[in-house]
Structure 1
Amino acid sequence: MDQKTLARWLKAVIIGIGICGLVVFLWLVPFMGKSVLEGYPEFGSWYLPWLIFLEISGLPCFGVLYLGWRIAGNIGQDRSFSMENASFLKKIAYCTAGDTVYFFIGSIALWLCGMSHPGVVLASLVIDFVGIAVSVAAAGLSHLVEKAAKLQEESELTI
């Protein structure tokens, strides 16, 4: 598979993930919240804080998709190992780490305010773990891409 084909596939996947994210954050989250309210009307005061909390937590995800789009563009231009891609991956690591910290603190804060169940807080730890894993993977890839870019630059200078 050549670079341009790979870049097209990556962009198609990013578009698909973006569409799924829009469906989840604009339709599924409010729908699920309203269905919980129908079954448990005593949670009516919890709906809006949780909706706002979850919608804000989705914003960095779309920022990461934008950075992934930029990386795919560089791959299509045969600049896979570039300092720019290393920088994008580092920004992805920071975005996911920040979003993970926000999600962790937010779920604890909502629980302390009496707007959550301890089981929900424990379940949110799974999401936090995934966020940490993505952040560490992006930071590791950033480091490797940076080293590869430096090696490629040195190689181009010696030829």
Structure 2
Amino acid sequence: MKHKELAKWLKIIIVFCWVFGLLFCVYIGPETGKNILVDSNFLKVLYKPFIAFIWITGIPYFYALCIGWSICSDINVGNDFTLKNAKRLKRISVLAMTEGVLYVIALLYVFISGNYNTNLLMVLLLILFFAVVISVFTSLLSYLMGKASEIKQDNELTI
């Protein structure tokens, strides 16, 4: 696959992630919260904080997608293995870990308050799992991208 075609497909995937993220923040998150929290008299007070939490956690998600878009733009022009892209991947890793920390705080709050529901715990743990996996893999990719950039620079200097 050529780098222009790869960049095009990655940008299409990023657009789908944007659409899914907006759909999640605007419709799926509130509806899930309504089904899980509002139906229970015990958990009803958590609905508005839950919605605010969903919107707050959307900020690092959408910022990471913007960074991913800029990486795809660099791939499109042939600047695949650069230190700038390695730093961008590291930033995405930090953003994913920020998401993970936010969801750990949410889990701690749910456990401390005693207002937990199995469905709520499953959703929080699933998102936490994905945040940690994304953070680990983007950190690994960042390291490999940095090493590839060093090798590329050494090869360009070799006569």
Task: Verify the 8 A CA contact 1:108 1:121 in the aligned structure 2.
Answer: no
Q: With the length of structure 1 as denominator, give the TM-score of the two structures.
A: 0.90
Cα deviation, 1:72-110, whole Å, max 9, x if unaligned, reads 001001011000110000001111011101111122113
In 1, Cα distance between the equivalents of 2:119 and 2:33? 17
Question: CA separation of 1:115/1:55 partners in 2, compared to 1, >3 Å: closer, same or farther?
Answer: farther
2:36–2:119 Cα contact (<8 Å) kept: no
Letter in 2 for 1:53: F
Instruction: Check if 1:133 corresponds to 2:141.
Output: no
Give secondary structure in 1 for the equivalent of 2:116: coil
Contact 1:111 1:121 in 2 (8 A): no
Q: Distance in 2 between the 1:122 and 1:23 partners?
A: 20
Structure 1 contact 89–138 (Cα < 8 Å) conserved: yes
Query: Runs of at least 4 residues of structure 1 off by over 6 A?
Result: none
**How far apart are 1:125 and its partner, in Å?**
2.6
Letter in 2 for 1:155: N
Residue 17 in structure 1 maps to residue 7 in structure 2: no
Give the alignment of 1:61-72 within 5 angstroms. 61-72=61-72
> Which residue identity lines up with residue 139 of structure 1 in the other structure?
S
| Correspondences of 1:51-90 after superposition (within 5 Å) | 51-90=51-90
How many angstroms apart in 2 are the aligned matches of 1:123 and 1:16? 21
* Stretches of structure 2 lacking an aligned partner (at least 5 in a row): none
1:152 counterpart residue number? 152
Deviations 1:102-122 (A, max 9, x none): 111122113323443366336
What amino acid is aligned across from residue 33 of structure 2 in structure 1?
Answer: G
Superposed displacement of residue 123, structure 1: 5.2
Of residues 37-46 and 1-10 in structure 1, the stretch that sits farther from structure 2 once superposed is 37-46
- Once residues 35 and 132 of structure 1 are traced to their aligned partners in structure 2, the CA distance between those partners, rounded to angstroms, is 27
Q: Which residue in 2 is equivalent to 1:29?
A: 29
1:39 deviates by: 3.5
Q: TM-score if structure 2 supplies the norm length?
A: 0.90
Q: Percent identity of the aligned residues?
A: 31
Structure 1: where are the runs of 5+ without partners? none
